Structure 1
Amino acid sequence: MATRPNVVRRLRRGLLAAAVAACVAVPLAGAAKASAVPAPVPAVLGPLTAGGGEAELTHRYAANRADIVAAEAMAAQYGDTQRAAELSELAGPDRQFLSFDGRDGGRTVEVFGNLATARTVAVLVPGSDTSLSTYDRFAAGAQALEAQLGGNAAHAAVVAWLGYATPDTVSPVVLTDGRADEAAPVLDDFVHQLQAFRPAARTSLVCHSYGSTVCARAASGLHVADLVLYGSPGVGSDIADVSDLHTTATVWAGRAGHDWIANVPHVRVPVLFTTLGLGTDPVSPGFGAHLFAAGNGSHSDYLKPGSTPLRSIASIVSGAADSTAPTHAAS
């Protein structure tokens, strides 16, 4: 008789394959979100420049505010009052966008804190189902992390990077690393710009859920202090342990006690014309990441004000966490 672990493994693989096959069989056009209200083409600002300082940031923030106002007007013209209201909030005088594009679900890069003087910079990379329609929850997490770091008083800034088309949580796309492969070079380019603009800052990547797959794919091209992977469905194909990331960063991983992502099978299953599953779990024995205290919250609670994982992540990106502690050793 097969042992219980083997039965569980086969069951998980079978369920994943069946679910994926059903998803892939659905025409992708039908699985896609309904077409969004059009948004105008944003201004072309070019990359961040080394030594640009406050003057460059002020110019960028103003230019992107104008693009948001234009997108708000177009949404109102098309009768999408909800989108217009969302954009009106983003256009507030206290918001600081390095970039904004309202098309195709939205791409934004927002700064919390003073980037021109920051000595600590955390780049927050979101997971699935993050778009302009759900942006407020992503921004709230970035704001909470900046506050936990001590904000301007501590010369810390958090950059909320929504720089890719995130997959839907219920879709065949979220079970592959295709979106991560597309997003990784874009993230690489942005972080290089950011480090050229603020070379003295201690820069870390803070990567949630599918965003952890994106960061893992980008890791080899970046020289950041820390790579923080949390609530991860897997780090993608061809990555078995930390050494396969080819990064000089200290790699951290965490998963909360009631995060449903723990039930996702960390396997790679060939189905039809693709391979499903996101591979190795970064909190698993043998991966080699430093594990941090992540509390007992759910999948969306990691950056909740006052939470254990928020304190842990802030300690990591500030450089206060003990990176000399043993990693999760192989069993």
Structure 2
Amino acid sequence: MTRLAPGQRRPGRLRRTLLAVLVAAAVVVPVSAAASARVPAPAPVEFTGSATPAERYAANRAGLAEAARMAEEAGRTGRADRLRAMAAGGSAQFLAFDGRGDGRAVEVLGDLATADRVAVLVPGSDTTLDTYQRFRAGAVALQERLRAEHPGSAVVAWLGYDTPGTVSPAVLTTGRADDAAAGLGDFMDLLQRFGPAGARHSLLCHSYGSVVCARTETGPAVDDLALFGSPGTGAARADELPTSARVWAGRGSGDWIAEVPHVRFAGLGFGTDPVDPSFGARPFAAGTAGHSDYLKPGTESLESLARIVLGGGSEEGRG
């Protein structure tokens, strides 16, 4: 038998140790998913390909109002209040809305008809209609930062998939991301029809949302793809992703995701760390951001992401 140096572990034992950590996390009761009871709501509106943003906004505002009424009647007053907040007094712009269960929503901040810089935010785990305002706050902060420099900007908050719970088996696999990727790809194609020719589109992907974006075939529909707070993508290198976009990666010094093992074994985990130089992404400065802080006003991470959306992005050194 080959003798190991003192302190050296066998590769198989290390893999088993890391896998045990992953499995232990996965089998903890998935609090977020289990605690989310089904909520009654109308079926989402089905639109034809020719439906304009204005037509979609009007129909989904009506759907929001009906979902709030049904939630109230079912005794889900908390959900009803959150839906009314989303309606924003009748001025909200939702391209899609589904109030059933944890829910889905795609909201536009800005005017797609004139925007030549469009950012699409893709959220991570535990983002539902019940936590939507937290997700939306980041979209609002980004929109305000973009418009301060470039009025022809819009931000889309894309809660277009069933996010996994932070503590659940699903958050350790690509299953939810695989299901979401086709829908996100179709949405990016649709988005191009709503705006001016030559508009720049960016995907900004947080946490588990980076797994979704990394599995989305974007073609020429996306110019930049930014991964932040990412646990990995399931790919070993950026050039393996199904996109021709510039791929960026950043992580704040206060983000706990850095402690997640970057392994992929037996279908669990996501492999190479996107901020590792070996992944090949363009690094961007994220300052001291914690896992939920990347889009907070005044942060270095928000500034970097805004620069990427506007077509720049100051690449850091990799040494």
Shorter-chain TM-score above 0.5 = yes
Deviations 1:263-310 (A, max 9, x none): 00010122xxxx211112110121111100101121000000110000
Q: Which residue identity is paired with 1:43?
A: V
Q: Distance in 2 between matches of 1:98 and 1:33?
A: 28
Mark the CA change 1:10 to 1:318 in structure 2 (over 3 Å): closer, same or farther: farther
Alignment of 1:157-168 (within 5 A): 157-168=154-165
3-state SS, counterpart of residue 216 of structure 2:
helix
Partner of 1:133: 130
Q: Which residue identity is paired with 2:91?
A: D
1:117 pairs, out of 111, 114, 117, with 114
Partner of 2:34: 32
2:142 pairs, out of 142, 145, 148, with 145
Kindly tell me the number of residue pairs found equivalent between the two proteins: 314
3-state SS, counterpart of residue 113 of structure 2:
coil
2:304 pairs, out of 294, 298, 312, with 312
TM-score normalised by L of structure 2? 0.90
Partner of 1:289: 281
3-state SS, counterpart of residue 305 of structure 1:
coil
Contact 2:229 2:251 in 1 (8 A): yes
Mark the CA change 1:285 to 1:3 in structure 2 (over 3 Å): closer, same or farther: farther
Deviations 1:151-210 (A, max 9, x none): 696200000000000000000110001111110000000000001222431001000000
Partner of 1:218: 216
Structure 1 unmatched runs, 5+: none
Q: Does 1:42 align with 2:44?
A: yes
Q: Distance in 2 between matches of 1:24 and 1:81?
A: 31
2:72 pairs, out of 72, 76, 81, with 76
1:193 pairs, out of 166, 170, 190, with 190
Structure 2 unmatched runs, 5+: none
Partner of 1:299: 291
Q: Which residue identity is paired with 2:210?
A: S
What percent identity do the matched residue pairs reach?
A: 55
1:87 pairs, out of 78, 83, 86, with 83
Q: Which residue identity is paired with 2:64?
A: I
Deviations 1:78-127 (A, max 9, x none): 01110010011112223211110011311100001111110100010000
Mark the CA change 1:288 to 1:327 in structure 2 (over 3 Å): closer, same or farther: farther
Q: Distance in 1 between matches of 2:100 and 2:74?
A: 14
Q: Distance in 2 between matches of 1:138 and 1:179?
A: 19
RMSD of the alignment, in Å? 2.7
Mark the CA change 1:22 to 1:116 in structure 2 (over 3 Å): closer, same or farther: closer
